[in-house]
Structure 1
């Protein structure tokens, strides 16, 4: 392990553009470096720090802190630091000023330390792919293991394009708020615009979120609870456990319940705060809950904020205002002003719908439009055609108030949802009926309050009439896949034991005690055509997983909470489901489950229709429902049950009417712009179909000795060729299955989905570029009439990195290629990449190394000539980068300024941030530097040495 000491100089292998870093602190298994050129601080683990020591050599010129230069004559190591001796003075490593590291490409060539032309070609290709990847308009969107759902991609694109976004994601259940949030995080993290994220969720959803971000987006978040924090106390940086990791998930209740942990989280510094189930944060004008108070403090400390809730206005205007004031406390400072604010949203929504559908505008519509826009623009609608109409629609949507901070899509506005078909199966038993009613009453009691009953739960599945029905049904449905969800792990295991041993049925299980890997494998076996016919899930199966390839759901028992029932059904009932869903509900007549079946079906129609407002419904009816279910004298014709069903049905209809009347059509239209979304989907599909990544990996894996075995179309098993093969990022010693096909990745979650965003890809690029692979090469060019020697030089134009500034979308690290002949003439156009890759072969350069004139005069002159040529190229690229940046940001800033006049939700800070970013980007792009990255000496065939 490298020994680090303050004032030593290092470069980052993965981020050479940071420049030379200075070790500032080493403690507790960490090393901290400051990179003056990019004004960045990095913290690395001592055992795995991707750093290379910078040591200057005789002949190099360095400067001290006063910018006085020194030509190095001699180098000595004194203690932990190097001393550099010049003609009349010496300079300690600690006294170095602004210096640049020599990356050694030309040094390697002059020493004869060269690679074969094929390896040089791999480096060249890697540099080009890295450039394309960074500049791609869908960078950060291609890597998610997700269906390409247009409204999700539109929201992620819109939000991730903003400066420190602060928004409320409030799509209805099943439309993918979690996916939208993860897409936003993934893109911002991948681009480097954010690095520190904390996600707060209800305790029951901590594991679900951990799985979702890992399985779908390859983001490893660390789960923090009191045990984790206590174990880190004293060993974490500055004694703050929240500084030990960059990406953290914890429960809202845990953080709100500890003043100490709240203080630590507040001082840790966050680029993004994400809060799920935000409607559970209780706030009123007179009272603030501890959870809300804690989130409010964190929301002020964090730069960006994502709130997720499916019920933004359902709990009333006061609750809705509570979410908005977290997003922008300056804009939403007074509740009474908020509720008295005039609104013409419905009139504008009507006009937008008319414009969309091509209906004629009435005189009143025209008057409203003229209050927003010049009269000439309205008159030009008839002449401007579809373009003028579309531009007017975009401007109208932009000016919608909360639409700037609030996104909401509804099922009614979407297509692609299946129908639900409920199959309610009342089971009557004449044998031991009283005994079975008592047994199922005990089971129900255990399910409702598992910790309140001391005795162990028992099952009698060998005789259970529900299980007999299950066996008969599985035979009828064969070979259709069936998902069964029940309350507990114990019930799952008891069912599996009976079905496998007694009925010889192919069954897989899914419960909380299995490891993540085992759950993936079991779910994958269920997805295979010849795999398990039935997957037995505990309640955890209703969280996070999508089994859309199955169309039959068995609810072996029912939860008491309507939202949990909706989550269960939501494993199959999601956008993209291809068939109707059959929901089978077996229950013993007059048992406690019978009460729930009737209440859900007749009172809420919850089996066949999407249910909204489950939390409020539960609060209102929970205890009455429990009391009826536990009544020993219950019968199907209980007047109390009839009254409860009637009362529930009335409340549900009133709630649905209230929600329908409260729908903000303008908000919904602003939350999904099909034209933009369609373009994003098209671009991602184009990248999915492009096989350049697959072809690139065949070369990378071959070079690094990784076997790539075919499994099926575009699907492979990767593993090290031998035990001595160098460790490759994200590929375990035992191997990993991967696919380049999105649809296969969606159906087989145990197989990795390789894309330009995947850690294996970014790790491979870093591994090639940071290891020096192919940075110096020698080869012989055959099959041409050329004679003499050539130099192919690869330069990289790079900017200093500022984590808060997204420079890559305008000027990423740019490959500049120059080929010169022995006279220093530019012959790049005569020797294309394709020509050299096809006709170059390895050779021995020993004889050339002995040619003093070549090594001391000709080659340095060729390098000097190429360096002058590349400056011209770099000037053009810098100019193009500035043009791209100004064209984009001028449009964005002008748009924000115009919108601010009409839309109070445009924060002044947002415009100031945009202006500051433009100034910073201008400076970064203008100061971009060219660095020699790789060099290849080419000997043309036929030359006699």
Structure 2
């Protein structure tokens, strides 16, 4: 590991435009660099700092802090700092003034230190690809190892386009809220708009989130718990452990258990806070839970906030308001005002529904629209003007819908879901039926009360249980298909594991709350492997958050009591993207309390065959009666009462479905998914997926750095260093790594990395080339060109000084400017295309040219000067284009937000102010862009 010392000079490999920086602070694991030329400061991790030591060579001119120049004659290293000798004096690295490294390209050329035309072409290509990937409209979206699902991409695009977004992601179970949140984070991180992120999740989901963001998005988050915080404090007792890393995952339970850690997390400051399972945060007008209070504190210091919940309103209007209050406490300050205001959207929603369905409007509805817009605009509807209708719908959704802070997609509006095939399995034990009914009555009682501590696994009698006998037969029948089994408690899981272990032909893995998070992930991974466990035995903890959609057989070994908990169980497999229909097996003993539950779920609310809505309301109305019936010792009486309850429940659900359909916030759902926007994004991503440019480019880079690409399948390779010295890419271990450029291949293999322009391996390859001198100076020869002479190909880069959290790449990323001049300085770029030079130029020697004083002292400097003038004119044109792109985007957004704010209180004042500030900052940065010479190729024509 490098030793960083105060006053050492470095340049940034990733941001060379910052200039030469000086080390101003070195602490445990961190180094702070100040870049005077660009007035920027960066904090790097010592272990992975993308820094290059700046060393000036004999012949270079440097200046001290008083501006006095020194021509270097000799260089020495002493105690970690360079000493420069010349002009009868010595200048320490610590005494350097304003210095730069802009002379490097010319120096290499004059010294005869030239590369082949092939390497010059590689650098030229690298600069062009770096520009293209940064300005791409899907920059930050192509890199996710995910299916291209329209509603997910739309939400990610809409949210990540905002300044410091604060939204509630509340898609129904199985629609992919976690993927949406990760897409948003990935884009904001890749584009540099955020750097510090805190993800808060229930303890049981920590490792799932860690694996999800790493495997799918190549983002390494650090898991923070008490052990890690205490360890960090040992090295820095006065420090804040939450400042040690930029990307952090922690559990809400951990913070709730420590006021000290909560205060540290709050004081650390975050660009983005993500909270999963937000419906567990309890709040009422009278009081708030500790967990809610912690998130409230963090949400006030975090610039952006993503709340994830599948049940935004089903837990009650008050609970829904509590989450909106976290997003914008000024906007949602009074619960009663919120309830009253929500009623106002119904008339607009009805109009939007009619317009979308192509239905006519009543005179009253037309009058309402005319009062909101104009008679002329509304009159266009009578002419069946499709564009006018579309624009009106867009404006209604934008100006009056509640979709600024809330996104909710429902299964009803989506396609691509599998069918549910329910198989009810009534079981009997002819010899001991009464004994088994009594045993299952006791089991049911324990399930309801959670009293398992005194029970030993053998008391479940699973070696003889009819359900287990059925399960063994079903496993043999379905083998090798994967089976997910969920039951109420870890005690049942352990007892089932013990029973199945007596049959070595069956392999089972377990998943319950007493396992460590690492053990849970390992067991889930073993279940996911093709030759791994055939069945995963889960306690109820497996119902929340986990995704097992590679399986399509679900066994409900017992019944949860709450309808929404049952939906959570089924939702582990019934998810968008599931490729096969799901078979749900429900084994139960005839005459047991479990049979009563099964019948109520199946006949009363059809919960096995269809997605259930309003489960919480159904539970509140009927659960107590159902429990009383199930506990009745007389099965005949219980069955009679159940028939009545089933009829009442079924009738209630009909009314509930109708009310939910009528009360559906259609404006919210329409604003949560714009198909045309999503389709455009998908087309752009697919275009990049299918473009072979990245594959061809990385093949060249890997070959140069001695990384072998071994063919495994179409567009799939094994990468590994040829020699020990070739280990220049940290992401490529000595034993190799499997990669693919094909999205579908990547999705089918967990162990294969998906290479895109967003992948760290691709960005690392670009940085590796551009941070080195590869191809910066070259000499080539064109034979039989018909006209002898000399031309110079120069690549300039129009650079803006980097500003963190300002996504300037959308408008003016580092822009390569290619200029070719002849020996008179005339612009001949059009006569020497890239394709022609790549095909015609062969390596040449520069020695004879350097022996000519005329070439060295006059011709070459004049050619470079002429080319620089041309490049600066090109740069001015690019600056104007960048300003125009920026103004078109941000002026439109600022005007839109200002207009919306008059009608829609969801528009935050700080969002408009931030957009104006961003426009002003971007304008200043773009105007200050400067041209820098990056590479030169001398070409002789013979």
TM-score, normalised via structure 2 length: 0.90
Label 1:222 to 1:178 Cα distance change in 2 as closer, same or farther (>3 A). Answer: same
- In the alignment, structure 1 residue 291 sits paired with structure 2 residue 299: no
Unaligned runs of 5+ in 2: none
- In the alignment, structure 1 residue 795 sits paired with structure 2 residue 796: yes
The answer for the alignment partner of 2:69 in structure 1 is: 70
The answer for the alignment partner of 1:828 in structure 2 is: 829
Partners in 2 of 1:374 and 1:436 — Cα distance? Answer: 74
Label 1:210 to 1:373 Cα distance change in 2 as closer, same or farther (>3 A). Answer: same
Q: CA deviation at 1:839?
A: 2.6
The answer for the alignment partner of 2:321 in structure 1 is: 321
Label 1:318 to 1:493 Cα distance change in 2 as closer, same or farther (>3 A). Answer: closer
Partners in 1 of 2:198 and 2:680 — Cα distance? Answer: 31
- In the alignment, structure 1 residue 553 sits paired with structure 2 residue 524: no
Are the counterparts in 1 of residues 596 and 642 from structure 2 also a CA contact under 8 Å? yes
584-593 vs 665-674, which deviates more? 584-593
Partners in 1 of 2:933 and 2:853 — Cα distance? Answer: 23
Are the counterparts in 1 of residues 526 and 533 from structure 2 also a CA contact under 8 Å? no
The answer for the alignment partner of 2:583 in structure 1 is: 582
480-489 vs 751-760, which deviates more? 480-489
892-901 vs 767-776, which deviates more? 767-776
Label 1:629 to 1:223 Cα distance change in 2 as closer, same or farther (>3 A). Answer: farther
Partners in 1 of 2:846 and 2:444 — Cα distance? Answer: 82
- In the alignment, structure 1 residue 266 sits paired with structure 2 residue 269: no
The answer for the alignment partner of 1:538 in structure 2 is: 538
Partners in 2 of 1:17 and 1:294 — Cα distance? Answer: 41
The answer for the alignment partner of 1:164 in structure 2 is: 164
Label 1:56 to 1:701 Cα distance change in 2 as closer, same or farther (>3 A). Answer: closer
Label 1:587 to 1:775 Cα distance change in 2 as closer, same or farther (>3 A). Answer: farther
Are the counterparts in 1 of residues 8 and 93 from structure 2 also a CA contact under 8 Å? yes
Q: CA deviation at 1:242?
A: 0.6
The answer for the alignment partner of 2:674 in structure 1 is: 673
The answer for the alignment partner of 2:770 in structure 1 is: 769
Are the counterparts in 1 of residues 741 and 754 from structure 2 also a CA contact under 8 Å? yes
Label 1:494 to 1:720 Cα distance change in 2 as closer, same or farther (>3 A). Answer: farther
Are the counterparts in 1 of residues 511 and 520 from structure 2 also a CA contact under 8 Å? no
Q: Deviations over 1:233-289 (max 9, x none)?
A: 243595111111111111122212311111101111100011122222222222122
Partners in 2 of 1:283 and 1:545 — Cα distance? Answer: 26
TM-score, normalised via structure 1 length: 0.90
Q: Deviations over 1:298-339 (max 9, x none)?
A: 111011111112222223332222222211122222223323
Label 1:456 to 1:74 Cα distance change in 2 as closer, same or farther (>3 A). Answer: farther
Q: Deviations over 1:386-408 (max 9, x none)?
A: 22222221111111252211111
The answer for the alignment partner of 1:127 in structure 2 is: 127
The answer for the alignment partner of 2:388 in structure 1 is: 388
Q: CA deviation at 1:61?
A: 5.4
Are the counterparts in 2 of residues 236 and 243 from structure 1 also a CA contact under 8 Å? no
The answer for the alignment partner of 2:33 in structure 1 is: 33
The answer for the alignment partner of 1:178 in structure 2 is: 178
- In the alignment, structure 1 residue 330 sits paired with structure 2 residue 313: no
The answer for the alignment partner of 1:928 in structure 2 is: 929
Partners in 2 of 1:386 and 1:142 — Cα distance? Answer: 33
3-state secondary structure, aligned to 2:227: helix
Are the counterparts in 2 of residues 61 and 69 from structure 1 also a CA contact under 8 Å? no
The answer for the alignment partner of 2:881 in structure 1 is: 880
Are the counterparts in 1 of residues 74 and 86 from structure 2 also a CA contact under 8 Å? no
Q: Deviations over 1:339-370 (max 9, x none)?
A: 33374422222222232233233321221111
Q: Deviations over 1:862-893 (max 9, x none)?
A: 32222222111111111110111111111111
- In the alignment, structure 1 residue 663 sits paired with structure 2 residue 655: no
Q: Deviations over 1:620-657 (max 9, x none)?
A: 88898789878988789467867876787677667656
Partners in 1 of 2:384 and 2:888 — Cα distance? Answer: 24
Are the counterparts in 1 of residues 318 and 335 from structure 2 also a CA contact under 8 Å? yes
The answer for the alignment partner of 1:142 in structure 2 is: 142
Partners in 1 of 2:787 and 2:633 — Cα distance? Answer: 99
The answer for the alignment partner of 1:152 in structure 2 is: 152
- 1:643-658 alignment runs, 5 A limit: 656=657
Label 1:268 to 1:685 Cα distance change in 2 as closer, same or farther (>3 A). Answer: same
Label 1:653 to 1:363 Cα distance change in 2 as closer, same or farther (>3 A). Answer: closer
Label 1:373 to 1:743 Cα distance change in 2 as closer, same or farther (>3 A). Answer: same
Q: CA deviation at 1:789?
A: 3.5
Q: CA deviation at 1:90?
A: 7.7
The answer for the alignment partner of 1:698 in structure 2 is: 699
329-338 vs 600-609, which deviates more? 600-609
Unaligned runs of 5+ in 1: none
Label 1:557 to 1:435 Cα distance change in 2 as closer, same or farther (>3 A). Answer: same
Q: CA deviation at 1:791?
A: 2.7
The answer for the alignment partner of 2:198 in structure 1 is: 198
Q: CA deviation at 1:208?
A: 2.3
Q: CA deviation at 1:478?
A: 6.4
The answer for the alignment partner of 1:911 in structure 2 is: 912
Partners in 2 of 1:236 and 1:176 — Cα distance? Answer: 40
Label 1:358 to 1:563 Cα distance change in 2 as closer, same or farther (>3 A). Answer: closer
Label 1:464 to 1:105 Cα distance change in 2 as closer, same or farther (>3 A). Answer: farther
Are the counterparts in 2 of residues 283 and 289 from structure 1 also a CA contact under 8 Å? yes
Label 1:454 to 1:875 Cα distance change in 2 as closer, same or farther (>3 A). Answer: same
Label 1:339 to 1:881 Cα distance change in 2 as closer, same or farther (>3 A). Answer: same
The answer for the alignment partner of 1:721 in structure 2 is: 722
The answer for the alignment partner of 2:746 in structure 1 is: 745
Label 1:381 to 1:603 Cα distance change in 2 as closer, same or farther (>3 A). Answer: closer
Are the counterparts in 1 of residues 110 and 850 from structure 2 also a CA contact under 8 Å? yes
Q: CA deviation at 1:925?
A: 0.5
Partners in 2 of 1:501 and 1:845 — Cα distance? Answer: 79
Are the counterparts in 1 of residues 169 and 307 from structure 2 also a CA contact under 8 Å? yes
Label 1:476 to 1:113 Cα distance change in 2 as closer, same or farther (>3 A). Answer: same
- 1:424-823 alignment runs, 5 A limit: 424-431=424-431, 433=433, 449=450, 452-453=453-454, 455=456, 464-474=465-475, 476-477=477-478, 482-485=483-486, 502=503, 504=505, 522=526, 525-526=529-530, 534-539=534-539, 542=543, 546-548=547-549, 550-559=551-560, 562-590=563-591, 593-594=594-595, 596-612=597-613, 637=638, 656=657, 659-782=660-783, 784-823=785-824
Label 1:483 to 1:333 Cα distance change in 2 as closer, same or farther (>3 A). Answer: closer
- In the alignment, structure 1 residue 12 sits paired with structure 2 residue 19: no
The answer for the alignment partner of 1:232 in structure 2 is: 232
Q: CA deviation at 1:497?
A: 9.0
777-786 vs 911-920, which deviates more? 777-786
Are the counterparts in 2 of residues 446 and 453 from structure 1 also a CA contact under 8 Å? no
Label 1:495 to 1:685 Cα distance change in 2 as closer, same or farther (>3 A). Answer: farther
703-712 vs 74-83, which deviates more? 74-83
Label 1:457 to 1:870 Cα distance change in 2 as closer, same or farther (>3 A). Answer: farther
Are the counterparts in 2 of residues 524 and 750 from structure 1 also a CA contact under 8 Å? no
Partners in 2 of 1:635 and 1:932 — Cα distance? Answer: 90
Q: Deviations over 1:159-196 (max 9, x none)?
A: 11111111111111121211111111110011000010
920-929 vs 546-555, which deviates more? 546-555
Are the counterparts in 2 of residues 151 and 672 from structure 1 also a CA contact under 8 Å? yes
145-154 vs 193-202, which deviates more? 145-154
Partners in 2 of 1:50 and 1:551 — Cα distance? Answer: 46
